[in-house]
Structure formats: structure tokens, C-alpha cells
Structure 1
Amino acid sequence: MTADLTLLLPLAVLWPMLLAGLALLPGWGPRMLMLLPLGPLPALAAALFAPRDTPVALPGVLLDGGLDLTATGAIFLGGAAVLWFWAGVYAAVYLRRDGRPAAFALFWNLVLAGNLGVFIAADIVSFYVFFALVSLLAYPLVIHDRQPASMRAGTVYLVLAVTGEVAILVGLMLASFGAGGAIGIEAVRAGLALPSAHPAALPLLIVGFGIKAGLMPLHVWLPVAHPAAPVPASAVLSGAIVKAGIFGMVAFLPLGTPAAVAGNVLTILGFSGLFLAALLAVGQAGAKSVLAYSTVSQMGLVMGVLGVALAAGSAPATVLPAVALFALHHGLAKGALFLGVGLAPLCGRAWRWGLMAVLAVLGLSLAGMPLLAG
């Protein structure tokens, strides 16, 4: 039974890729919008039932790489799957009269596959391919309506995405070289803690993952991309795709071995973003812009905590459960806020008051109000 359940890991990635392929078939594109909620279901099943720390080999695929689900990865995977499901439900209704349904369904499912794959990759080759998939192919979602503001936002997004991909690729290559050519994530992470590790490897990885996670001053794509993207795309950008950067740090930061310089720099930048982004959010006029800066602020808190742990040499077990729980809570709450903001103009007065009450509770939860998830 355990062996059968491990098959959920490759299915989590292959199923949305199959749905993306179906979107290319003549006459199937518009119909695929209705199937968007089905894309993350195998991943949700994997997060709930697949065995932990049981690698699945993929012979002949990406240098004989593989997939693996850790306890931390399961939390990220499950949270992302739930958010992608509800965002898919929203998109199926929101875009039912859209002029490019096939293109949206195609890139939605490809980005979904990459996002989920990041959380279950067992080696750096698979990880990088999935990360590139979620990072670069989110560009068509940002510019989906082809409006001038969206195109400008897409340009900013693409420049930073490519910059981040280059930093991560070079960082992983240097880290693998320092680990004796190993490609397993655990071995590469252990190699980063060795005195022989290349001094540029860890900073490059922090920069690359920091761009995706909204680390100040590398955050500038978030406040422009979120308002431009369709509402369901904004929800997954903030709630799930940003978490790919956080998970990259979780997977590769050599926690347990003090790295004072890198840890202190990450701490300063993370906590600076925590406060500065919150102040910048106050001056924003649009709700989606406020939520975007809010994401920068909250991810700054996470990265600041990781920086403190890295500088102090804290054991992973002392920090990763809290980081994973915070990421889960933020992803679901922030995704719900984006979807709720999109619903507000469609509601009548009575329904709108009820919706605003729900959004207020979600906001208070993100702010850490007692008795809520915060």
C-alpha cells in the first residue's frame, strides 16, 4: 500500500501537465477552464496520504532524478493544493467569457505543475526545472488581458524572474561542485555548510529565492504584477507561488551550522521588508496593491526568522515547523483575501457587508489576533 501511495507524487505533477496538454487540442481549450479545479487534487491526496521521506526514483528523467515528500514539504504542498483548487473554482467562473480561455488553462496548469513540483523535488535538477516552470511561465498569467499596465508589469516580472533563475542556477551549480558533484538536495545543503563550499553559492541562492519570495529590495515585481494579473492568478501568485521562494530557502539554507554574514544580511533585509512594506501598503489606493505589499511584509518576517536561525546555527527542527505553519496560514488567508476582493464588486449591498466581515476576520488573522490562526 505504501508503494502504491508513493505514486501520488509523480501524479501530482503529471496530472496538471496532462490537463495543460489537453488545452492545446482543438475545441478543448474553452472546456478546460471548467476542469481547472481538478488540477491540484492528486497533490492534495499526496500531501494527506503519501508516505514521508520515501524517495520515488524517476529513471531516465532529468539525470535520473526523483521526488520525495518531507514533513515540511507536505505542509507547503497541501496548502498550495487547497489554494489552487479554490482559485481554480473562481477562475472557472471568472473567466467563462474570457477571449483566451485555452491560453489561460494551458499556462495555469503548467505553472501549477511547477509550483507543486518544487515542494516534492528530491534533487537539484528536478528542483530547478520545476522552479523555472513556476517562475517563467507565470508571465503569461500576469499579462493575460494584454492591457498596457499588464504588459509593463509583465516586463518587470520577467526581468526579475530571469535574474532570479540565473542566480539560482549558478548557485546550485557551485553548491553541487562544493558537494563533490552530488545532486541530491540533502547532500547539496550539507555541502553548503562545509568550509570548502564556494563563498558565492549561498548568497546567490538567497538572492534567487529572495526575488521570488519578495525580499526587499528585490520585491518590486510583486506590487506591479498582482494588480495587473486576473484575480485568481493574483491569489496563487501571492498565496502559493511566492512560497516557492520560501521553500527554496527552507530546502537549501544550511541550518544547524552558523553562517553569520549570510544570516545577518538575510535578517536585516527580511525585517526591513517586514516594516517598510507595511508602511508602503498604507499609501496604496487599490486593494490588490495593499495585499501585495502585505505579502512582502509577511514574507519579510519569515525570511528574517530564517536569517536569525542561519546566523545562530539553529537546528532545523527549532524553526522549520513554525515557518511551515506560518506559510500555510498565510497562503490560505491571503489567497482568500484576493479572491474576496475580486468578488466584492459583484456582490449586492447585503452580500457585500457579509463578505467584508469575512475579509475583516481574515485580515485580523494575518495580523495575529488571538484565537484566530495567527
Structure 2
Amino acid sequence: MNAALWGELWIVLGLVGPLSAGLISVIGQSATRALLRAEVLLASLGLVVMGWMISQNALIPGIASLPTPFPPLHFAPLPMADLWSILSGVLLGATWLLIRKTFTETRILWALVPMASSMGFFLLAGGGLSLLLGLEAISLSSYLGLVTTRRSRKLWNAGWVLLILSEMGGLLLLFAMGLIMVHHRATLSFVADNFRVLAHEASHMPSAVKLVIMVLVLLAFGVKAGLFPVMIWMPLAEPEAPGPVAGLFSGVFTALAVLGILAVENVVHPGIGWGIILLILGTTGAFVAALYSIVSRHVKQILAYSTLEILGLVFSALGIWNIAQAANPQSLVSTLAWDAAMILLIMHAGAKFVLFSITEETEPIAHTIDGLGGIAHDRPKLSLAAAVAVGTLAAVPPLGGFVGEWLLLESILKPLGTTLALRNIHLLFLLAGIFLALASAVGVGTYIRWFGFVFLGPKRRAPRLVERPAQKLRPTQVVGYIIALFPS
């Protein structure tokens, strides 16, 4: 099957889906909600099917023609598109289950349709123009996911910060691809080329220019990927967004941005300097975010900072992978680091989605951990789901977080080789490992503190607060949490 057909279907869903729901809204809210439910469910199943087809090599690259004077769009799966298409579909389906029959269901469904469309389109963005449009799609859908789901001045301000940073990232990506083709005497025609053409042109470029290109790409996608220091919108926006939407931002959209970086990296092949930059920024981001998370009191803001900590570990692992690949491809270090990065991304997607979704149940009581406590007694099933997610993020064996962090530490401790240059690189890894180990230790303290204050101990309620009776989880919610925890 041609990937262009799937790309066109995602474009149609993003444009026609909300429009059709808007037209049918004259009939009534129930009809609108039913149509949006069907669209989100269809998108969830579509992502899973598309991921399975990619894994079976049944989705060949294709070209979609656009009306004159627009250039054609090249569609091809990005690196790891099969895995993340399936995971995106699973978590989107879990969202569909968790929000059913809630007061905010319709409003969240409106946001999920463009978000799902942008996920599918971006995963097939295997060309210059399609990658630019894919970044723009996830940027706009992120913005809409924020400002349409709740009415809050803080949320609107965070949305503007996200939109401005995202548009600046799009310009940086455009400039980066322009640098690839500048020696070819190309004008804006490079945006119509596929990755194969871009890779051919990049192969003739000096290493310094390749490094500049990748830094621009890193800044462009780093806004979504939780990269230090351009991730300032996350601690502002995620605490204000509804829990499942914040979970998709934190778990899925960050991973898609990492895939975008890897896609351009496969085109440019920047070398060992690129790995050092990733290692430095990743280590710094993980350590700084861990410190912020341990002192924060807001329930969701703690989770937002912990997202940045995990993504710092991921970028550090990718940095080690790049350095090891360039220094000694025969070493096991690169394999260990790559596996660590992918496992950390996968486990984080499911676990963080669950924890953000659970905050929908705690927000009516209090927004800070000081006002919570004792929920485990009233909501044992909810507490069990939170415990599994927290255990995953805190690297409790045998859960995914433990496997990912163990492989990361193994890649740091295992020698690269016996030459002087390889030993010096190993010393760099050990230095970074000190800060990564500290960040992981502080992160464990953060998760224990979060779970202890929210679910354990006595109830810490304001005297004036009349607490509503605890409601049991609906069957759809139980299924939703089980599905979301599966990647952990």
C-alpha cells in the first residue's frame, strides 16, 4: 500500500473531521459527541493498523500531488514509525475510554481529532516539505489541544508561549534544510525533495556545517521534545491542560519530536561532535529538571518536570549512542545506549499518561500535594494504577524504567576500547554518568514524594472543603488504565 494514501487520509481527517462535527452540531450536542467519538476511535484504530503495516514493510513510500503551484508531498515512514504509530493509537484509544461520560468529554474530543491527524501525518513525513508540514501540524494541534479544552488565563498564556516557540522552530528547520541544499544552488525547491535527495547533498558537506544543521534541527524539535533549555512551555502548559491531553503531550508528542530529530540525523550523519552536544544538553536537562521537580508542590507541575528529567536521560543515551557509533562501531556501548533511549521513551509514554490522567480525579480536591492524601483508602484501584506508573518511572524492577536506566548505566560503565582516545571518551561518559545518576536518584525521591503525599498518609483537606463521596472507576476507565500501562 502507498504511504501517500495514508498521508492523504490523515489530512482529510484533520480538515474534514472537525468541519463535519461543526456542521452536525446544529442537530444537537449528543450528535456532535457521537460523531467525534467515532472519528477519534477510527483514528486510534487507523494508527494501530498503519503501524502494523509499516512493521510488515507493507507501506511503500509515495508521492501526493498538490494543486498548482504547490510542490508534491513525499511520504515515507520515519525511524521507529511502526512502534510509535501503534503506541500513539493505543494511548489515543485509552484517552477515548477514560474521558467517556465526563463533563469535559466533548471539549476534549474536539482537540483529539486534530491531534490524532497530526500524529499520523508526522509519522509519515519522509520528505522536506512533509517534515516541515508535520512539525507545523503537531505544533498547531498542541496549541489547539491547550486552548480549546479549558478556559484559563494561565493556559492561554502558556499556549502563546508554545505557539511562538513552535513557529520559531519551524523557521529553524526550514533554514537547516536550506543549508543542506545551498551549495547545490537550489532556491526553495529543496522543500519538495525527499530524504534520499537531501542525504545525497548532505554527504558532500563539511562536518562543521553538518553540526550547525543538526543544532538548528535540535532547537526546532527540542521545543516539543523537552530539550533543555527550550522546553519552558511544558511546566507552564501541562499543569493547565486536562489530564489525558497533558499525558499525550508528555508521552507521545515528545517522542514524535525525538523521531523528527532522528530522521534528519539519518540524512545528515553529523559525527561525534553531535553526540557530545546531545550528551551535554541531555545530562544538564535531566539534572536541572530533577531539582525543579523535587521542590515543586503542584501535582501536575511535578509530573511536567519529571518529563523533562526522563527526556534528559533519553537525549543523554542518544548522545552516547552517536559518540560510540563514531568512535568504535564494534563496541556494545552503542547498542546498549540505543536500547536504553527507546525503552525509556516507551515506558515514559504509558506511565506518564496514566499519572496525568489520574490527576483528573485529584484536581477537584486540591491542585497541590499539600492538600491531598489518603486517596489510597478510598480509591484502591486508582491507587494501584498510580503505584505501577510511579514504580515504572522510579525504576523499580522489573518494570520498564528499571530496564531503561540499567541499560543506560551499562553503556556508561562499559569501556569503549583500549586506545587513549577511546579511554578519554569513556572518562567523558563517566563524568556525565555522575550527574545522570544524581538526577535519577532525585527523580526516585520525587516519585516517592508525589505518591506518598497524594495517595498515602492522612487526608489533608481544607476545613471549608466539603469533599464529594469517592466514585468508583467505571469499566471503561479500568480498561483505559490497563491499556495505557501495558507499555510500562
- Alignment match, 2:347: 329
For these two proteins, the number of residue pairs brought into alignment is 368
Greater gyration radius = 2
Asked whether the 8 Å contact 1:344–1:355 carries over to 2, the reply is no
Is the Cα–Cα contact under 8 Å of residues 321 and 338 in structure 2 kept in the other structure?
no
Correspondence 1:121 to 2:122 = no
Give the letter for the 2:87 counterpart. G
The answer to whether the 8 Å contact 1:302/1:323 transfers is yes
Whole-angstrom CA distance in 1 between matches of 2:264 and 2:58: 16
Q: How many angstroms apart in 1 are the aligned matches of 2:325 and 2:313?
A: 18
TM-score normalised per structure 1: 0.86
**Corresponding residue for residue 278 of structure 1:** 290
Runs of 4+ displaced beyond 6 Å: 346-349
* Percent of paired sites with the same residue: 22
Shift of 1:178: 5.6
Q: How far off its partner does 1:346 sit?
A: 7.3
1:101-152 C-alpha deviation (Å, 9 max, x unpaired) = 3xx5444312221122211222121121121011123212212322111122
Quote the Cα distance in structure 1 between the aligned partners of 2:138 and 2:85: 14
Quote how far apart the aligned CAs of 1:238 are.
0.6
Is 1:156 equivalent to 2:169 in the alignment?
A: no
| In structure 2, C-alpha distance between the alignment counterparts of 1:223 and 1:167, rounded to whole Å | 23
Deviation at 1:46, TM superposition (A): 1.3
Aligned partner of residue 48 in structure 1, secondary structure: helix
Q: 8 Å contact 2:376–2:383 — kept in the other structure?
A: no
Q: Give deviations 1:232-277, integer Å, cap 9, x for gaps.
A: 2111111111122111111111489563333322211111111211
Does 2:390 correspond to 1:363?
yes
Unaligned runs of 5+ in 2: 26-30, 366-374, 402-488
Contact 1:80 1:331 (8 Å CA) reproduced: no
Matching residue within 23, 33, 37 for 1:34: 37
1:333 shift after superposition: 1.6
Contact 2:51–2:82 (Cα < 8 Å) also in 1: yes
Q: How does 1:185-200 map to 2 (within 5 A)?
A: 185-189=195-199, 191-192=201-202, 194-196=204-206, 198=209, 200=212
Alignment partners' CA distance in 2, 1:46 and 1:236:
19
Give SS of 1:66's match: strand
The equivalent of 2:304 in structure 1 is 292
Task: Determine the C-alpha separation between the residues in 2 that align with 1:353 and 1:207.
Answer: 43
Matched residue type, 1:75: L
1:344 deviates by: 4.0
Match for 2:65: what amino acid? G
Flag the 1:7–1:151 CA change in 2: closer, same or farther, 3 A: closer
Pair 256,114 (structure 1): closer, same or farther in 2 beyond 3 Å: closer
Change (3 A) 1:58 1:14: farther
TM-score by length of 2: 0.67
Bigger CA drift: 129-138 or 170-179?
Answer: 170-179
Pairwise CA distance, 1:296: 0.6
Of the structure 1 ranges 311-320 and 164-173, higher mean CA displacement relative to structure 2 is found in 311-320
Other structure's SS at 2:228 match? coil
Moved more, 213-222 or 21-30: 21-30
Could you tell me which runs of 5 or more consecutive residues in structure 1 were left unpaired when the two chains were aligned.
none
Contact 2:62 2:74 in 1 (8 A): yes
- Specify whether residues 91 and 172 from structure 1 end up closer, same or farther in structure 2 by C-alpha distance, changes over 3 A only: farther
Paired position in structure 2 for 1:23: 21
State the distance in 1 between where 2:112 and 2:105 align. Answer: 17
The residue that corresponds to 1:309 in the other structure is: 321
The within-5 A match list for 1:1-374 is 3=1, 10-11=8-9, 14-15=12-13, 17-27=15-25, 29-35=32-38, 36-50=40-54, 51-52=56-57, 54-61=59-66, 63-69=71-77, 72-96=80-104, 101=107, 104-144=108-148, 145-177=150-182, 181=190, 183-189=193-199, 191-192=201-202, 194-196=204-206, 198=209, 200-254=212-266, 257=269, 259-314=271-326, 318=335, 320=338, 322-344=340-362, 350-374=377-401
Contact 1:277-1:293 within 8 A present in 2 as well? yes
Aligned partners of 2:203 and 2:101: how far apart in 1? 49
Deviates most, 10-19 or 40-49: 10-19
Encode CA deviations 1:282-333: one digit per residue, 9 max, x unaligned. Answer: 1111221111111111111111222233344446984555533432222122
Contact map agreement 2:195 2:267 (CA 8 A) in 1: no
Higher alpha-carbon deviation: 245-254 or 291-300? 245-254
Matches of 2:2 and 2:73 in 1, distance apart? Answer: 19
The one-letter amino acid of 2:134's match is F
Query: Residue 345 of structure 1: CA displacement?
Result: 5.5
- What one-letter code is carried by the residue in structure 2 that aligns with 1:115? M
On the 8 A contact 2:2/2:62 being kept in 1, the answer is no
Tell me by how many angstroms 1:185 deviates: 2.4
